[in-house]
A and B are shown apart, each in its own frame.
Chain A
Amino acid sequence: MTTCQPNDEPQPAADLGAAASNTASAGAGSPLLAVHHLSAVFANETGGLYALADLSFEIYPQQFVCVLGPSGSGKSTLLRLLAGLLKPTQGDVCYEGEVIDQRLAAARRNVGFVFQKANLMPWRTVSENILLPLELQKVPRDLAQSKVAELIQLVGLRGFEKARPRELSGGMAQRVAIARALAHDPDLLLLDEPFGSLDALTRERMGAELLRIWQARQKTVVMVTHSIAEALFLADRVLVLTSRPGRLRLDLTVDLPRPRHEDMRYTPQFGGLARQIRSAIERIE
Chain B
Amino acid sequence: MLKQRFFFLLISLGLALAVWWAVREFGYLPRFMLPSPLDVWQRFWTAFRDGSLLRHSLVTLSEVLAGLAAGASAAMLLGYSLAKSPALEKVLTPYIIASQSIPVVAIAPLLVIWFGPGWVSKVMICSLIVFFPVLINTVVGMRSAPAELRELMRSLQASRWQTFWLLEAPAGLPVFLGGLRIGATLSVIGAVVGEFVGADSGLGYLVNAARGIYDIPLVFVAVMVLILMAMALYGFVAWVESVAVKH
Binding site for B on A (CB under 8 A): 80, 83-85, 106-107, 109, 111, 113, 115, 117, 119, 121-123, 132-133, 135-136, 164-166, 184, 190
Contacts and interface: CB of A to CB of B under 8 A. Distances in A.
B247 A136 contact: no
A113 B155 contact: yes
Interface string B154-170: 11111000100011001
Interface stretch (B89-97, B120-128, B145-153): B145-153
Contacts of B151: 80, 85, 113, 115
Contacts of A115: 148, 151-152
A136 B245 CA distance: 22
B3 interface: no
Shortest beta-carbon contacts, A-B, top 9: A106-B157, A122-B247, A113-B155, A123-B247, A119-B148, A123-B170, A85-B151, A83-B155, A136-B158
A164 B158 CA distance: 23
B150 to A, nearest CB: 9
B148 A107 contact: no
B5 interface: no
Interface residues of B, number: 19
Contact of B157 (A122, A135, A136): A136
Nearest to A181: B155
B32 to A, nearest CB: 56
Given A123-B246, A164-B246, A136 B156 contact: yes
Given A132-B166, A136-B166, A113 B247 contact: no
A119 B150 CA distance: 10
8 contacts: A115-B152, A123-B171, A136-B153, A136-B158, A136-B166, A164-B246, A164-B247, A166-B247
Contacts of B167: 121
B157 A121 contact: no
Contacts of B170: 121, 123
Contacts of A136: 153, 156-158, 162, 166
A119 B152 contact: yes
Given A106-B157, A111-B155, A117 B246 contact: no
Interface in B210-247: 245-247
A83 B151 CA distance: 10
A123 B170 CA distance: 7
A106 B149 CA distance: 18
A136 B170 CA distance: 15
A26 B190 CA distance: 74
A119 B149 contact: yes
A117 B245 CA distance: 23
A165 B148 CA distance: 15
Contacts of A106: 157
Given A83-B155, A85-B154, A117 B148 contact: yes
Given A119-B148, A190-B155, 8 more contacts: A80-B151, A109-B157, A113-B155, A115-B152, A123-B170, A123-B247, A135-B166, A164-B247
